Amino acid sequence: MPEAVAGPGTRCRFVARLLGALSIVGALACSGTVRAEGGESASPERTPDYRQIVATSQAAIGRPLADIRMRDSNGKEVRFSDFQGRPLLISLVYTGCFQACPVATQFLAEAVREARRALGDDRFTVVSIGFNQPFDSPAAMAAFKRQNRIVEPGWHFLSPDPTQVDALTANLGFVYEATPKGFDHVTQVTIVDADGVIYRQVYGENFDLPMLVQPLKQLLSGQASREITMESVWDKVILYCTVYDPQTGVYRVNYSLFFEIFAGLTTLGAIAWFTIRELRRARRA
């Protein structure tokens, strides 16, 4: 059982194991995330093959986003390329869903608020896309946003071109099936890097917060490391020292890590100074 706040190495190993087992966890958890409209579960005789669904979803990782034509809730045309430059979270929903999609969207809103509190308000973008076309129109997506009380900035509700829905879902590895009452589908949040490449998949109407925040930390830390400035170095240190506390369920900055980093740098500096001094003495001799 890990301590409330694990060390950086322990956290990294934990996250690696967590992500490595993601397909198994997703398959086991999906029975609670598949709903038909009205909240009824798919019947036992036609239960989807969760292992294959998750395998299809995982196969999308590393795939560039197709530049799908969409319209926002105001009717303005947008494409995925408009969101490049920072990480992107993609959630597929349909507005006729009365249980799973609203529950998942409201939980995602809570997770987004906590992630922004930990990582910064303007560090990533979120989009919810209505895949049931032509019914998930810009007006319907705007109503869905209001009904779920989504007020977070940087969160867009989009309607894809009906002719590109199949390309969109195939690109994201999103599997759904029409039923007499709506659609059966696995609830999925796709995490995309700043260059528009799919980086992670997160499953479930709710999930442990590190499943969303850790990949975002990795992406933002990578961006910071590519920009070698004092600001980017400090940004990387802050990201490194932001840790998840399972007792409170929130992220916080662990200031003790600053002292560990300072002590490590001081030790390395002292070793370097001692080595250089001894080399100079040897040369004089």
Per-residue pLDDT of 161-195, as tens digits, reads 999 999 999 999 999 998 888 898 889 999 999 99
**What is the predicted pLDDT for the residue at 111?**
93
Q: Check whether 29 has a pLDDT greater than 50.
A: no
pLDDT value at position 243? 54
Q: What is the dihedral of CA 188, 249, 238, 65, to 10 degrees?
A: 0
Neighbours of 154 (CB within 10 A): 16
Specify the pairing of strand 125-130 against strand 155-160.
parallel
Q: Where are the domains of the chain?
A: 8-252, 257-284
Residues in a beta bridge with 179: 182
Q: Does the pTM of the predicted model rise above 0.75?
A: no
- Kindly state the tokens that stand for 139: 């007006």
Q: What is the mean pLDDT of residues 48-76?
A: 92
pLDDT at 248: 61
Query: What number does CATH give the domain 8-252?
Result: 3.40.30.10
pLDDT tens, 231-275? 544 454 544 555 555 666 655 555 454 455 555 667 777 787 777
